[in-house]
Structure 1
């Protein structure tokens, strides 16, 4: 099976490519020089592939990289390119709470991408994924670096939200099964085996990371304000506005409701200290994580 992976250098796409191996994958991303809305370039990339794993997505908007351009226009282009290239199966990685009628551009455009895939006429699987963690993620990575850097850690709201953290290995298992055609024409809710409060998840990560911050519950509006500031200041924000909404809602139920994978494919790994340790980065946050410092370093880097 030969698979084209959009967003193939991103978190999930990279792990999927590693699982399948270079001989069986075509990695597509801005880093490989293929724009997500370039139908002609996508068509050439898709030729000879049996399926497309559409993992491309963003959690914040920067310049022309808007939610609509990446999630909606990008999906339109991917579907058209798949038809032209003779690819008959597509697997879309979406978000658990993606739905219409929200104030979140992220949630709305992810939902529109789902609807485009379901109406495409291609064999499809839509994976509405919850909170995925693993090496290079935005969960264990960010919490670890934050508790190692700051003396205070803000939790979301005064009522505990819940989550079912999903190990990247389990997420890739289900992605591969969908690419093989084992869940055709289905929309599936993809979450981890263990459900726990977000605060408990943070404390478990902090314990493994060796951090001992003071935990302070903060109202949702304060987390959103923090998200806006970190989007302005950081290369990869401590928390993005779309992520703040995810945390405020909790990440345990699909919206609209969707079934979980069949029992034989359902994620089974717990949110254990060993799995957290495998995902953990070195060190904490530093000056290089600030956008202004990053730009200076990039400007001074000699051209290759």
Structure 2
């Protein structure tokens, strides 16, 4: 399971730690949901989501200030649990003494942000959704071609990396080679990136490992890209019937998301880089409502119908 610690949030959002670090336990955050404990401030803890980050804004703290001393201690003791990963105060509000005392007992970090509550909640949620998104790794190459994230798959030695090198020379951008880490940031949205160890690197058999950014410049690489289509390379099989019109639509399923997939037979003399480049352009045209295969079929049907009428 993906996880994020409060220590990472402190560095990412420039948060100020209020309580003593010796008393703090940096627990893992396992959900992107943020809780604003308004009902809890009123004393209703029946459905308190203790495992979420707790965000206290001006509204919650103003209400809290109106409680009796006994109620203040009770609320903060129940708010700070061994499951609570952290409590964040927005707008630079000071942490009440009752909160600091209760949090120190169970090691909950108290953090202060200068951002407004709504903006902080939005940025925290977006960050956590990306970091906690389900992830898998697929053997292949990911290239940004004309704004389309094209993932090239195929058996080892079929020519994926060599094709990627040719595409980079033609002005396209490398995202990942050999291993593509894929995250489902939102439903239907798959984003691929390279593992840190092999970022910006290409392995070419007989040549070795090359650094694409060093050789071709920063414009030849990018760190991540949404995957739009899959190009599967396979050795040419004369017994197999390959699609010649482009009407058949195959897909590859990743995290229950279907990605359009084309199978390209590989044999000497075929320029795979040009084929993949044209496939990406054709994919863009299809998204704009222009489908050459369907237009050809309509023309063919029209010619056949006219021929039938002449026979009569």
TM class by shorter chain equals under 0.3
Give the TM-score normalised by the residue count of structure 1. Answer: 0.21
Decide which structure has greater helix share: 1
More relative contact order, 1 or 2 (CA 8 Å, 6+ apart): 1
Give the TM-score normalised by the residue count of structure 2. Answer: 0.21
